[in-house]
Homo-oligomer: A and B are copies of this chain.
């Protein structure tokens, strides 16, 4: 492995044995998530700087931990690389990944490496923890709960549109370096009834909450916080935003851990997900989640 072995905190033995050994905090349950980052599917070398690929690869996992209200403990990275890939690309990839890991006290504790016959293949696994019984599931939304999102939506979708349009993005807000909402997620324990991260687009991820909770939803179009440069469509269907979508029957602050929170609708009986415009007209909100970069 190109990265130096790390241990400390809950990681008793890291890279260098058959397995890593973890000692999770007492009274906690474990959270486990895995996410591919495949060249040509989730990123392109000509579009994304290596540091961004490493950062976004880890963000995918950390954002899933945030969406359960948990804290990350350890990260495992399986990385298959083409033989002709410059070492500098790999070093810069690790730099981006490890900088984000340090910021959230997540230790890179192991993984696997292999040669790839076709592009860069990364699979990230993040293990986190949450106090026993306190994880925020997708299935807890109840009719009458309000629906909230953190931050602004549509930057992911807008950026991909611009990249496909031939623009060379250099500074694109947080698109290249999104912030997983770990602090917000942890503060929502006991407050949110259901939660998910918006990695596939608001329309798709809200539908996941409704399906798992067996409820419907109404979204107020005018209340959706749209990112600069993004359209309503980007915000509804764009994906890759890594904000949190949650429901609550309680009073929710307009800002949590420095991140703005917007109320965008409510949970209702039934199974329909609808969107309502300012004149009160509503229509079905179809799931048109992000389809990655495949053409």
Integer count of this chain's copies in the complex: 2
For residue A114, CB closer than 8 A to chain B, the reply is: yes
A18 to B74, CA, bound (A): 17
Contact between A23 and B29, CB atoms less than 8 A apart: yes
A135 to B19, CA, bound (A): 10
**Chain B minimum-CB-distance residue to A19:** B31
Q: What is the number of residues of chain A that contact chain B, defined by CB distance less than 8 Å?
A: 59
For residue A269, CB closer than 8 A to chain B, the reply is: no
As a 0/1 sequence over residues 37 to 70 of chain A, the CB contacts with chain B under 8 angstroms (1 = contact) are 0101110000000000000000000001101101
A212 to B115, CA, bound (A): 25
Q: Which among A111, A123, A130 has the greatest number of chain B C-beta atoms within 10 A?
A: A123
As a 0/1 sequence over residues 249 to 264 of chain A, the CB contacts with chain B under 8 angstroms (1 = contact) are 0000000000000000
Contact between A32 and B20, CB atoms less than 8 A apart: yes
Contact between B111 and A17, CB atoms less than 8 A apart: no
For residue A163, CB closer than 8 A to chain B, the reply is: no
For residue A90, CB closer than 8 A to chain B, the reply is: no
Contact between A23 and B78, CB atoms less than 8 A apart: no
Residues of chain B contacted by A212 (CB below 8 angstroms): 16-17
Contact between B18 and A33, CB atoms less than 8 A apart: yes
Among the listed B64, B110, B114, which residue makes an inter-chain contact with A33, where contact means beta carbons less than 8 Å apart? B110
A92 to B123, CA, bound (A): 23
Q: Given A24-B24, A114-B41, A123-B112, does the pair A74, B16 have CB atoms closer than 8 Å?
A: no
For residue A233, CB closer than 8 A to chain B, the reply is: no
Binding site for B on A (CB under 8 A): 12-13, 16-24, 29-36, 38, 40-42, 64-65, 67-68, 70, 74, 76, 78, 80, 109-112, 114-119, 121, 123, 125, 127-128, 130, 132, 135, 137-139, 195-197, 212, 292, 294
Instruction: Using A23-B30, A24-B24, A127-B127 as known contacts, list a sample of 6 further A-B pairs with CB atoms less than 8 Å apart, ordered by residue number in A.
Output: A16-B212, A19-B64, A32-B125, A33-B110, A34-B78, A118-B118
